Amino acid sequence: MPSSSCSERPLAAILCGGRSRRMGRDKALMPHPHGGSLLQHTCVLTLATGLETVCLSRPHQGHRQHLATVAGTAPDLRQVTVLEEQPPWEGPLLALAKLMTICPGRPMVLLACDLPHLSSSLLNALAAPLPPRHARLTTDGAQQQPLLATYGADLAATLHRAVAAGVRSFRQWLPGLQVEWLRVPSTALVNLNRPQDLAAATHDHKHP
């Protein structure tokens, strides 16, 4: 279990408990264009950036076993803590609230597990110290990605109040926050929802 004490570096929290309905299979375990699975690739990057890493999974998804298996070729993956999210399962905002309860006092770099263009430089930018009561969100100027973002530990109280009031989407919660915008290329915001998205990402890596 990650330490509950405050730390200069935030905790990297990877969300991999979605149902992947549009993809038709578990996105976290899909192949990354650079090799390994998407979950493995994300964990390797967060660890290489020096971020303590947790994955929020659901029971019986097999993510703990998967990381234990691939740790034979990437031993650092043994440092990843896999947490099993208990019901209710009502989306990533509630997942963040649960993480802030399990790991209190920790700012969090919140990451979807299906970001094929994630990089160490982007993670370092996200992990920079935040002003009090701030979130740092990535944007390309037209869209934003709340699952490629950093949330200060001192946002826990407002998040828990929102969740208790029935708020379940970042779209509803974010307008009440002080947000620092991190401008990134549009490709950094790409996530994989459908089989054709994976094919496009694989093509992009082969033909940059």
Phi (first) and psi of residue 180, to 5 degrees: -100, 125
Residues 6+ apart with CB under 8 A from 48: 76, 120
User: Which band of pLDDT confidence, cut at 50, 70 and 90, is reported for residue 7?
Assistant: very low
22-80 per-position pLDDT tens digit: 555 688 998 898 889 999 999 999 999 999 999 999 988 899 999 999 999 899 999 99
164-206 per-position pLDDT tens digit: 999 999 999 999 999 999 999 999 999 887 666 665 665 455 4
Domains: count for the chain: 1
* 5 occurs within a structural domain: no
**Per-residue H/E/C for the chain:** CCCCCCCCCCEEEEECCCCCCCCCCCHHHCECCCCCEHHHHHHHHHHHCCCCEEEEECCCCCHHHHHHHHCCCCHHHHHCEEEECCCCCCCHHHHHHHHHHHCCCCCEEEEECCCCCCCHHHHHHHCCCCCCCEEEEEECCCCEEEEEEEECHHHHHHHHHHHHCCCCCHHHHHHHCEEEEEECCHHHHCCCCCHHHHHHHHHHHHCC
* 154 occurs within a structural domain: yes
- Is the predicted pLDDT of residue 82 greater than 50, yes or no? yes
Q: What is the CATH number of the domain that holds 201?
A: 3.90.550.10
* 177 occurs within a structural domain: yes
Q: What is the dihedral of CA 56, 20, 164, 86, to 10 degrees?
A: -50
* 1 occurs within a structural domain: no
pLDDT of residue 4: 46
For residue 146, give its domain range: 11-206
119-145 per-position pLDDT tens digit: 999 999 999 999 999 999 999 999 999
* CA 1 – CA 3 distance, rounded (Å): 6
* 131 occurs within a structural domain: yes
- Is the predicted pLDDT of residue 6 greater than 70, yes or no? no
* 2 occurs within a structural domain: no
Is 115 in contact with 190 (CB distance < 8 Å)?
Answer: yes
- Is the predicted pLDDT of residue 148 greater than 80, yes or no? yes
pLDDT of residue 132: 95
Is 106 in contact with 130 (CB distance < 8 Å)?
Answer: no
Residues 6+ apart with CB under 8 A from 19: none
* 6 occurs within a structural domain: no
* 155 occurs within a structural domain: yes
pLDDT of residue 192: 80
CA angle 90, 87, 83 (to 5 degrees): 100
Is 134 in contact with 182 (CB distance < 8 Å)?
Answer: no
User: Which band of pLDDT confidence, cut at 50, 70 and 90, is reported for residue 102?
Assistant: very high
